[in-house]
Amino acid sequence: MNKTIIAHTPAEMEEIGVELASILTDGMVVSLVGPLGSGKTTLSKGIAKGLLITDVVVSPSYMIAREYQGRLSMHHIDAYRVSSLDELAEVGLDDYLPPESGVSVVEWPDRIDGLVEISHIQVSIELLDSELSEFGEDRRVNISKQ
Ligand SMILES: Nc1ncnc2c1ncn2[C@@H]1O[C@H](COP(=O)(O)OP(=O)(O)OP(=O)(O)O)[C@@H](O)[C@H]1O
Ligand SMILES: [Mg+2]
């Protein structure tokens, strides 16, 4: 599967996550690649909603990872401050790549060599019209399933 969708608003980005959740099964890794502020956490909130997670999903940045329970558990990982798989292993997070149960949703997977490649679903987000910041809310979202 490979599809491209334009998300015009944060709500549309969240909806893409809700739909994506419907194809997730135990053991999957979803990588979310995109520049700062492109909507990775917004999309993650949609995935959580689609997985019937009722807890509020916040950016995992300061924790590196958070876990939520729903139809499947969701391990939400932010690799922004991590530079290698060894570093992730030091905090025990390599266990979630891939996870034995539940799914892992990873922001900044491109900080870790090979992580995007081993992901079952690769999402990449591009900011459109960034030069028109006042109106630059459109994101191009490409989803590919291995
Ligand atoms: N079409 C859109 N899709 C997603 N977010 C949008 C869109 N338009 C505007 N936004 C805004 O952009 C911001 C995206 O923030 P979000 O935290 O989801 O990005 P991020 O990629 O996780 O950032 P970071 O790189 O810091 O982790 C939010 O304030 C959101 O409201
Ligand atoms: Mg984020």
Number of domains in the chain: 1
CA distance 86 to 33: 20
**135 CB within 6 A, ligand 1:** no
Find out whether 53 and 46 touch, Cβ atoms under 8 Å.
no
Domain with 99, as residue range(s), is 2-145
**What residues are neighbours of ligand 2 (ion), with CB under 5 Å?**
40-41, 59, 107
To test the pocket of ligand 1, the residue of 30, 36, 38 to mutate (highest count of ligand atoms within 8 Å of its CB) is: 38
User: What Rg, from alpha-carbon coordinates, does the chain have?
Assistant: 14
Q: Residue 14 in contact with residue 139, Cβ under 8 Å?
A: no
What kind and span of H or E run contains 54?
Answer: none
Q: Per this entry, what is the length of the chain?
A: 146
CATH of residue 119: 3.40.50.300
Q: Tell me the whole-structure pTM to 2 decimals.
A: 0.93
Per-residue pLDDT of the chain (146 residues; tens, 9 = 90+): 899 999 999 999 999 999 999 999 999 999 999 999 999 999 999 999 999 999 888 877 666 888 999 999 999 999 998 888 888 888 888 899 999 999 999 999 999 999 999 999 999 999 997 555 555 689 999 999 98
Please, what is the angle between helix 10-21 and helix 40-50, to 10°?
40
